[in-house]
Amino acid sequence: MTSWELALAATLGFLVAMTAVILVAPTVRKFALRVGAVDRPNERRQNREPVPNLGGIAIFLGFLLAVLLVTALWGDKLGWWQDGSRNRSVILATVLGGIIMTLTGLLDDILDLPPGPRLIVQALAALIVIVAVPSIEIPFINPGGVLPLALERPYLQVLVTLLWLMGVTNALNYVDGLDGLASGITFIAAGVLSAVAWHLGSREAEIIILLCLAGAALGFLRHNAFPARIFMGDNGSTLLGFVLAAVSILGTLKQATVIGLIIPVLVLGLPIMDITTVTFRRVLRRMSPAKAGRDHFHHRLIARGWGQRRTVFVLWSVGLALGTVALIVDGLPLLQIAAVMSTLVFFLGATYLARTREDGWAPRAAVAVVALALVCAVGLTALALVTRAGFQPPVEAP
């Protein structure tokens, strides 16, 4: 698959996922209201009126439609019909795990499942990813010989993989506490990881999955920005977290050095730091880490008097900063890093303003930032393409 074919396929997947979610979300919202699937105001939540919480259905449908369409159009180029096709294994494992996470999240949103059954199903979904891709080495251990030799044992590798998949899945669920926060963080992470995957080469499936996920998250932000018309619920947040975690271990960031460990931790640094500090704090207080509370980063900023918009913008900025550091660590040229990050800022800002202008919120400073990001994104991308700075064409997988 040539670099231009991959760019076309991934761009189509991004646009299809984004458009599908934008169009489907209102229908899902009406359905959720009809069946009473809403988050009602309480002391932990920030919404002041009942808000439908089945938005993950729209995210999943948009993501699945985009992946299926790209696979149907470029299946031969992706080696779909070849025996032992790596791209087919990655796509099937990720989609199957995503289906399981979405269905489990739906049951949780409707029935309010206890933590035990949720964790068991998450572990099963993680095992499916590991078992379904036997041709791919189980991840990140032992990169460059920097970790203890004991971790080279297969059962410990599986355990670390399970912890990573389940940890990131629940980390995304934890940060889904303010309007637009989780969808924005997912868009940033997926965008940065896709740039890393492109730089590595031979990662066609991961790039397509990540940009389809980014499009779905951005499309949902169109309805989820403050004040949100619909929430993604656990069915959406666990899907987003699981796909991000799975793609990172299915090869996107599998490198032979310690950088293969650093990059995913940086890109997903905000949710990882949040779940780590919250878990540690609750254990010290002899509280259940799985119990809902108001001790997450966003809750603490809100308690200091920050509004939802300010808190979300600051946490998005942290995500963008960590993503920039990850791209620097990965060795991308500064020109390409600037092009990638300005593109992310433009799409994120433009989508947010498209929603908030309907409620009369569109300050000139925000519009100016989005316009500047657009100019930078177009100019820097054009310059990078002309100079070929850092745009390494994908290498055909053996």
pLDDT reported for residue 398: 44
Q: Is 267 helix (H, G, I), strand (E, B) or coil?
A: helix
pLDDT for 258 equals: 55
Q: Which two tokens stand for residue 25?
A: 């979300």
Which residue did the predictor score with more confidence, 154 or 322? 322
Q: Which of 108, 109, 107 is closest to 37 using CA atoms?
A: 109
Q: Which of the four pLDDT bands, split at 50, 70 and 90, describes residue 170?
A: very high
pLDDT value for 286: 79
pLDDT of 24 > 90? The answer is yes
Strand ranges inside the chain, DSSP E: 38-39, 51-52
Lowest mean pLDDT across 84-88, 243-247, 343-347, 373-377: 84-88
- pLDDT at residue number 153: 54
Nearest to 198 by CA among 347, 12, 397, 395: 395
Provide the pLDDT for residue 381.
83
Mean pLDDT of 347-360: 87
Q: What is the pLDDT of residues 363-386, one digit of tens each?
A: 888 889 899 999 998 988 888 777
CB 187 within 8 A of CB 214: yes
Residue with tokens 């054009």: 382
Q: For 252-297, write each residue's pLDDT tens digit.
A: 455 544 566 688 888 999 999 998 988 888 888 877 776 766 778 8
Instruction: Please say whether the beta carbons of 244 and 187 come within 8 A.
Output: no
- Mind giving me the DSSP string for 331-381? T--HHHHHHHHHHHHHHHHHHHHHHHGGGT---HHHHHHHHHHHHHHHHHH
Token pair for residue 397? 């997988």
What's the pLDDT band for 225 if we cut at 50, 70, 90?
very high
Compute the mean pLDDT over every residue in the chain, rounded to the nearest whole number. 85
User: pLDDT tens digits for 303-329?
Assistant: 888 888 999 999 999 999 999 999 998
- Whether residue 204 contacts residue 82, with contact meaning beta carbons closer than 8 Å, is answered with no
Q: In the predicted model, what is the mean pLDDT of residues 237-263?
A: 75
Q: Nearest to residue 267, comparing CAs of 206, 348, 328, 207? A: 328
Indicate the pTM of the whole model: 0.90
Q: Which of 26-30, 229-233, 273-277, 347-351 has the lowest mean pLDDT?
A: 273-277
Q: Cα-flanking dihedrals φ and ψ of residue 156, to 5°?
A: -75, -35
Residue with tokens 């850092």: 390
Residue 39 DSSP code: E
